[in-house]
Amino acid sequence: MFSISLTRDDWSLHRKGAIDQARHMQKVKEAIKQNLADIVSEQSIITSDGKKLVRVPIRTLEEYRFRFDPNSYPQVGQGEGGSKVGDVIGRVGPGQGPGQGKQAGDQPGIDYYEAELTVEELGQLIFEDLELPNLEEKRLRELESEAVRFTDIRKHGPFANLDKKRTIRENIKRNAKRGNPRFGELKNDDLRFKTWERDVKRESNAVVIAMMDVSGSMGTFEKYISRAFYYWMVRFLRTRYDHVEIRFIAHHTEAKEVTEEEFFTRGESGGTRASSAYQLALQMIEERFDPESWNIYPFHFSDGDNWPSDNDLCRRLAEQLIERSNQFGYGEIRQGRYAYQSTLMHTLERINSPKLVTVTISDKTDVYPALRRFFGPEAREVARV
């Protein structure tokens, strides 16, 4: 019988831990998906630059067991000598209640699991089964690329494209055949021209027109919800489609096209005339996005508090918009207000078209369902009717 021994084996194929770790990560993802409604409207994400890591608490992965109330009893610690009653030995972050904080912490009662994800990973989970509904193969648009590729040499062409080096070489070659290798007595036969090819790309085109009410009646909450929705919509479109154009329109009584940055940061005031936005959207379509070759998706977010005198015009313009669009999405943010106070929703609901999709949002957690209603599998069912 041996009493001691020492070996070293090959463990390179060993990966049991990695397999169970993968299963754990899968459970983390499932848990996150169950909480997407809460996570999607998380302020720290919407206001981040998109590179941030997001910490998501996951209570469903808690390993529940019988345990003592972790915060009702003092713990034993060890000092380095000379400690007294009343000494402060550490701090916990403000707002960390019992059972909160990060997992591997060494503070009493703080032990739930937090997953760390990038906004991108989170986006993948959110966008998994979302797509632009009712996307049609429109007449293909020919996109000329800016860059021209010179690919061949010919004897004829515009003088602007003359290949001087080759021309001189041809001339010297011809002279050399006659025993006089030098440049001179240029003839047409010596001339060489570069020719080029145009790169032509074909694709189905889509444009999303994002309209947002920025009038005085839009409070902090309403603006926040619209931005949260559009934040994820823009991320979704950019992640999923290479060539979707997104145009931004902000309106109060007047509408104007704004840059993406302005759209997400600017606040205005004044009354509301939604027709101004629809008018501008129609004009945009007229000038730049022919419905024959474009899939068009207007979205509008508002608190619905439209000037009553404007409603008839709104409906007519909305009908025209819907006619030219694949889907028209309207989101109304209504917090602690009554439905009858909204005039815009009433106006739009009188339009009878399966292409009109409306949602009402009264809580932060409604943003995710709104995304799903416009872009989820359910939306595609509706649009097909």
Residues at the contact surface with other proteins, assessed by CB under 8 A: 1-9, 11, 14, 16-25, 27, 61-94, 96, 99, 103-104, 106-109, 113
Query: Minimum distance between the CB of residue 90 and other proteins, rounded to whole angstroms?
Result: 4
Which residues partner with 162 through β-bridges? Answer: 193
Which of 190, 243, 163, 222 shows the shortest CA–CA distance to 342?
A: 222
Residue type for position 80: E
Give me the least distance between CB of 65 and other proteins, in Å please.
5
For other proteins, give the closer residue by CB, 17 or 336: 17
Which residue reads 């009878």 in tokens? 352
| CB nearer to other proteins: pick between 110 and 228 | 110
Nearer to other proteins, 105 or 291 (CB): 105
Residue type (1 letter), 371: L
Closest distance of CB 266 from other proteins, Å: 38
Tokens of residue 16, six digits: 């049991």
Give every CB contact of residue 104 below 8 A, 6+ residues apart in sequence: none
Let me know the angle formed at the C-alpha of 259 by 240 and 347, rounded to the nearest 5 degrees: 80
Least distance to other proteins, CB of residue 33, Å: 16
State which residue, 108 or 157, has the beta carbon closest to other proteins. Answer: 108
Q: SS3 of 330, please? A: strand
Q: Which is nearer to other proteins, 94 or 184 (CB)?
A: 94
For residue 16, the minimal CB distance to other proteins (Å) is 7
Q: How far is the CB of 50 from other proteins (least distance, A)?
A: 24
What whole-number distance in Å separates Cα of residue 337 and Cα of residue 318? 24
Shortest CB 53 distance to other proteins, Å: 14
Nearer to other proteins, 87 or 137 (CB): 87
* Residue number with CB closer to other proteins (26 or 283): 26
Read off φ and ψ for residue 16, nearest 5 degrees.
-60, -45
| Unique residue bearing structure tokens 């508090």 | 305
DSSP H/E element including 193: strand 193-203
Measure CA 215 to chain center. Answer: 25
